[in-house]
Amino acid sequence: MQPAALTFSVLSFLGVAAQLAGALLLVSLFLMMRRFVLRRPYFSAWTAAWAAFAAAIGALVIRYILVPDMVGFAPPESHPAVRVLYFIYQMCKGLGFVFFLRGTLMYVAGTTAGFLATRKLWAGAALFAIASTLASRNGLNEMVVWQSAIAVPALGYCASALLWLPRPRRTVGSMATGACFACLALLWLGYAGAFALTVRSAGTHTGGVPSHIVNFNSYFDLTFNLLLGYAMLLVLMEDNKREIDDAQAELRVTHDQLRRAALYDSLTDSLNRHAFAEGVGLEMVRATFGTVVLADLDNLKLVNDHFGHSAGDRILRRCADVIRATLRPYDKLYRWGGDEFLLIVPSAHATDVIERLQAALDDAAHVEIQGVGDPIPLQVSLGAADFASSEELSFAIERADRAMYLEKGRRKSDPRSGIPSITPTSVAAIR
């Protein structure tokens, strides 16, 4: 911007117009992102900062483009309307830097810390605008020098706060935003020197690097502001991605819990009949031979009738635990019915499996029930059948079921099979 003369060059006109368009683009983009993603306080503060900068550039557009076009001449620096526009410009610029600070503090330390740390700075921005407007007699160039006094420390603090985050919190977005803040702080440091030289040499031509900085500062601002804006959007998208990842993790946990509830029997922690129908645990069976075993608790109904279902539940859990202890990692135990369990044992034969199960059940400790004098034994009927391939599995289960019921019938005819008398676990193996 080059307001030392009261006419605006084409270069300055294009620079201010482009800077205003860039600020409005960032404001609209930030507002759109606030609408479609979860809102975050730091992002709201940064959106307010870009809105304040857009309002500041708008005041310059009115001062140097709209007003001269409407009245046919450029009002002098001392005109009251011009001073009001300069105050708005300084106030909005000050608020922009304050909102940058507040957003950064919110991101780094949380909402409360951000508010407490910047509450007094808003009043300071108003006092700064009043003082700098009254003290500036050489137009906009002198105001830029005033602005650098707050821009450099504010932008420098934002850069350091983001670049020196704890290592676990450092992300591509936070590092990029911090780097852009650092570049802007250095840029404003350069503005302080270049515009100060321009003010000091008012009325004379200033060449070299300071002149180029003054003439092209709008384009520098536009470039670095756009980079900073998109880095801030990256920070927001990273936070949004973390929220999505957390939600997906919770959904996976919930899905696993629901799947477990659907496929496992909650009482015995065994797979259920639905799991068998879904093919859960049958991977080994598809590639080898094996045997199936059906185990049925003979005395569960008597326990339920005499001592209640809680006692029956203890019997069921003990039976499942005893059987599970005999299984290999790829053997599977299913709760097949109310008092029935199905065992799928790949790469094994019925005689070997039955012998191992019978020994485990014979050695199993009896279940102690409160209010019952003697512990209750596990009275289990077993039926087994071999299968040569997975295609024979259903038929093997039917044969094992028939064998188990034959054994159960034999045991029921034994008068010693009722509670509290104990009968040995019987076995019927069918090939």
Would you please indicate which residues are annotated as catalytic (active-site) residues? 339
Tokens (6 digits) for 236: 């927001």
Contacts of 426 (CB under 8 A, 6+ apart): 381, 382, 407, 410, 411
For the four alpha carbons of 164, 166, 169 and 172, in that order, the dihedral sign comes to positive
Peptide bond into 3 cis (omega under 30): no
Identify the three-state secondary structure at position 251: helix
Whether 214 and 160 have beta carbons less than 8 Å apart is answered as no
Contacts of 2 (CB under 8 A, 6+ apart): 8, 9, 12, 141, 214, 215
Identify the three-state secondary structure at position 425: coil
Whether 382 and 360 have beta carbons less than 8 Å apart is answered as no
Tokens (6 digits) for 116: 């407490």
Report which residue type is found at 87.
F
H-only helix segments in 136-163 = 140-163
Nearest CA among 225, 226, 315 for reference residue 267: 315
- In b/e form, how buried is each residue of 274-301, taking b as 16+ CB within 10 angstroms? ebbeeebbeebbeeeebbbbbbbbbbbe
- In b/e form, how buried is each residue of 173-198, taking b as 16+ CB within 10 angstroms? bbbbbbbbbbbbbebbebbbebbbbb
Q: Per-residue DSSP letters for 293-343?
A: EEEEETTHHHHHHHH-HHHHHHHHHHHHHHHHTT--TT-EEEE-SSSEEEE
- Cα-atom radius of gyration of the chain, to the nearest Å? 41
Identify the three-state secondary structure at position 429: strand
